[in-house]
Structure 1
Amino acid sequence: MNLEHLLYIVEVAKYRSLSIAAQNLHVTQSGISQSITSLEKELGLKIFNRSRGHGAIPTDEGRIILKQAYEVLRKVEEIKETANSFSPTEVEELKVSSAPGMTTFLVKAIAAFRHDYPRANVEVSEKWAPAVIGDVRQHKTDIGLITYSTNWNINMDGIAFEALLEGKPKVYVSKHSPLAFLSTITPHDIFDQTLVTYNSESMQCFVQDFFNEYKPLKILFTANNMDGVLQAIVEGLAITFAPDFLMKNYPPVIKGDIIPVDLVNHRPVNISIGLVRSEVKHLSTFANKYIHFLKSEIIKN
């Protein structure tokens, strides 16, 4: 038995597929198959039940072996991390994927983080939430930051999700709109309004849910950045739905050119900013320290 054996069975268990594991580890499928067979013979038990139709499914005994394999691989990562800490020239690296609109939090955390860790190298890529989750699941990035809505269905297998900030959607209108003088807005109050939308999964799901429950509103446009959305609202061309935590720090909202109003008489939809990480990958001490700074920045919001 060697570490390669353990790495192979963990990767196969993660995807229940020898072909995907082989692709991820850049080895041949037959090589992984032979390695697993060799390990099973050495241990005297079957780790997986393998079939064409169902892939590689861990046996009851295999699940116990896999749990211990995870623990061994985590310990190996900790040993490497300890060894690297003895090298003063070592540059710590962290890869983060983020859904659109979340990079402000990440950059603020990096700025605070670099004061204590000047050699830190944090690489941030902006993607839609399913791609963020896919990157974390495939270990292309260490952690991810997404917005998550209770009315949004997505595959979270193998992913640990931690809500960092809870919020709710509000209606955002121009300060010159008659709606700005209302303390609350009902769905019926906005049936004649034109909508501008921000292209994020959680808000698109909310808008579609609203349309399905009541009626479609006229859409002026859907934007991939918030600047166009904000300008359309300021000019009185449209209104929008957005989470309060996303909008509260934009200058037009701070200055009062855009007014947030609570939406009532609509079933509650909770939206949160959440941290996603792999359930099986060990996060370094460096990564956990950055997460601490990130949480602090989000909590300040």
Structure 2
Amino acid sequence: MNFEQLLYIVEVAKHNSLSIAAQNLHVTQSGISQSITSLEKELGIKVLHRSRGHGAVPTDEGKIILKQAYEVLRKVEEIKNKANSFNSMEIGELKLSTIPGLTTVLVKALAVFRNDYPHVNVEINEKSVSSVIEDVRQHRTDIGLIAYSTDWNINMEGIAFESLFEGKQKVYVSKHSPLAFTGSISPHEILDETLVTYYGEFMQYFVQDFFNKYKPLKVLFTSNNLDGIFQAIIESLAITFAPDFIMKNHPPVINGDIIPIDLVNHRGVNISFGLILSEDKHLSIFPTKYIHYLKSEIMKI
């Protein structure tokens, strides 16, 4: 038994495919197949049931072996990270995937992080909730940051979520709107308004739920361009729904061009902003350090 064999069975089981595992690991499919067959002969059990129709599926015994293999690979990763930490220059990389609207908080934490680790290359990508989750699940990113609600029907298999703070859904209107002076508003008071929405899983869920409970509002447009959404609100073309922790750091809200209003007499949606990590990947030193700085920055909010 060797490290490569454990790596192969884990990668194949993750995708239920020898061809995808071979592509990801930059080896031949036949090489992976022969290596797994050799391991199964050594162990005296079948780890993966391989067929053309169903790909490569772990057997009952294989599931137990795979769990142990995950642990071994994790320990090897820990050893590598510990060795890297002894390098005084501490050169490395940190990859983050996040939903839009949270860059301000991330950058503040990043400024402190880069002061202590100037030789670490940092990459931040803004994506949808499902894309961030998939990046974490496929180990394309170290840390994911998302808004999450237990009301959503989102696949979180293999994902660990840690809430950092709670948010509140609000209505956002132009400072020139008659609604801007109300302070709070009920659903029935905005049923004749035109809506502009962000194209994301959470907003689409919330809007559809709102429409089902009351009636569909006129929708001006749906977009993943926040600047376009802000402009439509500022010019009194539409209103929008959004979590307060995403909106409050944007200039149009800070300078008062867009006004937040509490939505009352409507069943609240518990929204959490937090970290997501892969349950089968050990977190290396730099993501771990960055999380510490991020949590410290969030405490100031």
Shift of 1:23: 2.4
Q: 1:113 to 1:3 in 2, by over 3 A?
A: same
The structural deviation recorded for 1:290 is 0.6
Counterpart Cα distance in 2 of 1:43 and 1:109: 48
Q: 1: CA distance between counterparts of 2:57 and 2:116? A: 45
The Cα offsets for residues 133-177 of structure 1, whole Å up to 9 and x where unpaired, read as 222222221121122234433322222222222212111123343
- 1:11 CA drift (Å): 1.2
Amino acid at match of 2:237: L
Partner in structure 2 of residue 14 of structure 1: 14
Q: Which runs of 5+ in 2 are unaligned?
A: none
Q: Distance in 1 between matches of 2:37 and 2:115?
A: 50
**Residue 180 of structure 2 is aligned to residue 169 of structure 1:** no
**CA deviations over 1:30-66 (Å, ceiling 9, x no partner):** 3222211110110111212333444333233222222
1:290 aligns with 2:286: no
Letter in 1 for 2:125: S
Q: Does 1:36 align with 2:36?
A: yes
What is the aligned partner in structure 2 of residue 250 from structure 1?
Answer: 250
Q: Is the 8 A contact 2:104 2:249 kept in 1?
A: no
Is residue 85–residue 285 contact of structure 2 (8 Å, CA) maintained in 1?
no
CA drift at 1:113 = 0.8
Instruction: Note if contact 1:14-1:158 (Cα within 8 Å) is conserved in structure 2.
Output: no
For the aligned residue pairs, the C-alpha RMSD in angstroms reads: 2.1
TM-score, normalization: structure 2?
Answer: 0.91
Give the AA of the match of 1:156.
M
State the alpha-carbon separation in 2 of the partners of residues 300 and 100 from structure 1.
Answer: 20
Q: 1:90: Cα distance to partner?
A: 4.2
In the alignment, is the contact (CA less than 8 A) between 2:90 and 2:117 conserved in 1?
no
In 2, distance between residues paired with 1:209 and 1:299? 32
Q: Does 1:124 align with 2:124?
A: yes
* Separation (CA, whole Å) in 2 of partners of 1:28 and 1:155: 31
Partner of 1:64: 64
C-alpha distance after superposition, 1:159-209 (max 9, x if no partner)? 222222221211112334332333432221111111122233211221122
Cα separation, 2, equivalents of 1:26 and 1:209: 45
Aligned length: 301
Counterpart-to-counterpart distance in 1, 2:46 and 2:19: 19
SS in 2 for 1:160: strand
Instruction: Give 1:270 deviation, angstroms.
Output: 1.9
Q: What is the CA distance between 1:276 and its match in structure 2?
A: 1.7
SS of the residue corresponding to residue 157 of structure 2 reads coil
- The answer to whether the Cα contact below 8 Å between 1:151 and 1:206 also exists between their aligned partners in 2 is no
Match of 1:156 in 2: 156
Aligned runs of 1:160-199 on 2, under 5 Å? 160-199=160-199
Deviation at 1:131, TM superposition (A): 2.0
Q: Per the alignment, do residues 112 and 90 of structure 1 end up closer, same or farther by CA in structure 2, a change over 3 Å counting?
A: closer
Q: Residue 212 of structure 1 aligns to a residue in which SS?
A: helix
* Structure 2 Cα separation of the partners of residues 198 and 48 of structure 1: 43
Q: Greater shift after overlay, 86-95 or 281-290?
A: 86-95
Any stretches of 5+ residues in structure 1 without a counterpart? none
Match of 1:274 in 2: 274
The answer for the alignment partner of 2:26 in structure 1 is: 26
SS of residue matched to 1:64: helix
In structure 1, distance between residues paired with 2:228 and 2:135: 29
2:131 and 2:28 mapped to 1: Cα distance? 26
SS at match of 2:164: strand
